[in-house]
């Protein structure tokens, strides 16, 4: 599932290649991928020029002239691709937009959990896609105090807490494992027992890892559908330290741990039982 670095990579691609183009015509092959009335969507978007892009967490939107925007949440298997008009459409193409630059923007989604939505500027709080999305994981305003207060009422494990998009938006299953390994924190540590200092280290590791992943155009694993907005694979899978590495040696210098895979809240979780030992005595996993 695309997480913040993958969505940001797509947004950057579209920002570079799409801003300034006019959307000549939109075709919906499956109306049920649109939140709200598909007729309203088509009528509002057709003929508009793309003036910008934005993102919060795993949701992104294209800003159009006329104070409207088109939000996209890719969920499990959605792909937003810029293709040539002459290119053959991939299977599961549910939306295509003809652009003035002679290309097409297409939305492809085999599992169809993803959604598109028409947004009106100033009424983002009414959006289905943006509802319950907390501050972005790369927001400069994010503080350890905020996270600790958000965790205050939650005795769930810190990994599950990080996956809850209402507290912090953009982190999914892959990067949560990587972040907690970098910090040296066991994924099942109760969120409300994580110290302010550890929360600060989580914020620092999140920035470091997500920014490196954006630099590598995201993570494309064997079973994932993720492609950049230009149809390329990501490169950060070569930099993963624990995710998908069960039974391999922990890459932390001097650590003799072996990476373990376990299920936490029904999701595969990877960690080193030595440098991410439970409770006291844990040491930084750098
Ligand atoms: Zn280790």
Q: What is the pLDDT of residues 85-107, one digit of tens each?
A: 999 999 999 999 999 989 999 99
Contact 123, 42 (CB under 8 A): no
Percentage of residues of the chain with pLDDT beyond 70: 97
CA of 180 to the centre of ligand 1 (A): 11
CA of 214 to the centre of ligand 1 (A): 25
Whose tokens are 């299920």? That residue is 263
Q: Tell me: the pLDDT tens digits for 9-68?
A: 999 999 999 999 999 999 999 999 999 999 999 999 999 999 999 999 999 999 999 999
CA of 154 to the centre of ligand 1 (A): 27
Instruction: State yes or no: pLDDT of 116 exceeds 60.
Output: yes
Query: What's the mean pLDDT when you consider all of the chain?
Result: 94
Adjacent-strand bridge partners of 59: 56, 73
Q: What is the pTM of this model?
A: 0.95
Query: Which domains, and CATH codes, for the chain?
Result: 4-126 (3.20.190.10), 144-271 (1.10.8.50)
Whose tokens are 């007729």? That residue is 39
CA of 259 to the centre of ligand 1 (A): 7
CA of 168 to the centre of ligand 1 (A): 26
Alpha carbon separation from 98 to 109, 206, 222 (Å, rounded): 18, 37, 31
- Burial grade of 51 (CB within 10 A; 0-12, 13-18, 19 or more): middle
* Residues belonging to the active site: 2-3, 58, 267
How does residue 278 score in pLDDT terms, banded at 50, 70 and 90? Answer: confident
Q: Tell me: the pLDDT tens digits for 182-225?
A: 999 999 999 999 999 999 999 999 999 999 999 999 999 976 67
How does residue 125 score in pLDDT terms, banded at 50, 70 and 90? Answer: confident
Q: What span, in angstroms and rounded, lies between the C-alpha atoms of 199 and 207?
A: 13
Radius of gyration of the chain (CA): 20
């Amino acid at each position: 599932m695309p997480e913040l670095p993958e969505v940001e990579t797509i947004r950057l691609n579209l920002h570079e290649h799409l801003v300034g183009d006019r959307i000549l015509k939109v075709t919906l092959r499956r109306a049920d991928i649109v939140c709200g009335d598909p007729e309203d969507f088509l009528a509002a978007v057709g003929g508009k020029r793309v003036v910008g892009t934005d993102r919060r967490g795993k949701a992104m939107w294209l800003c159009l002239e006329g104070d409207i925007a088109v939000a996209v949440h890719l969920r499990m298997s959605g792909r937003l691709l810029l293709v040539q008009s002459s290119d053959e459409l991939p299977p599961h193409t549910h939306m295509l937009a003809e652009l003035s630059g002679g290309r097409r923007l297409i939305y492809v989604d085999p599992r169809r959990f993803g959604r598109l939505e028409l947004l009106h500027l100033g009424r983002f709080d009414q959006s289905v896609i943006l509802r319950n999305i907390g501050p972005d994981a790369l927001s400069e305003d994010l503080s350890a105090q905020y996270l600790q207060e958000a965790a205050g009422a939650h005795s769930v494990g810190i990994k599950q807490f990080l996956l809850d998009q209402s507290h912090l938006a953009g982190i999914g299953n892959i990067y949560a494992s990587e972040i907690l390994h970098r910090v040296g924190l066991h994924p099942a540590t109760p969120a409300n027992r994580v110290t302010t200092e550890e929360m600060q280290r989580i914020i620092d590791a999140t920035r470091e890892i997500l920014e490196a992943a954006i630099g590598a155009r995201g993570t494309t694993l064997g079973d994932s559908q993720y492609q950049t907005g230009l149809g390329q694979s990501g490169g950060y899978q070569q930099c993963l330290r624990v995710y998908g590495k069960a039974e391999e040696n922990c890459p932390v210098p001097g650590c003799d741990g072996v990476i373990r895979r376990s299920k936490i809240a029904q999701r595969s979780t990877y960690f080193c039982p030595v440098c991410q030992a439970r409770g006291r005595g844990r040491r930084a996993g750098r």
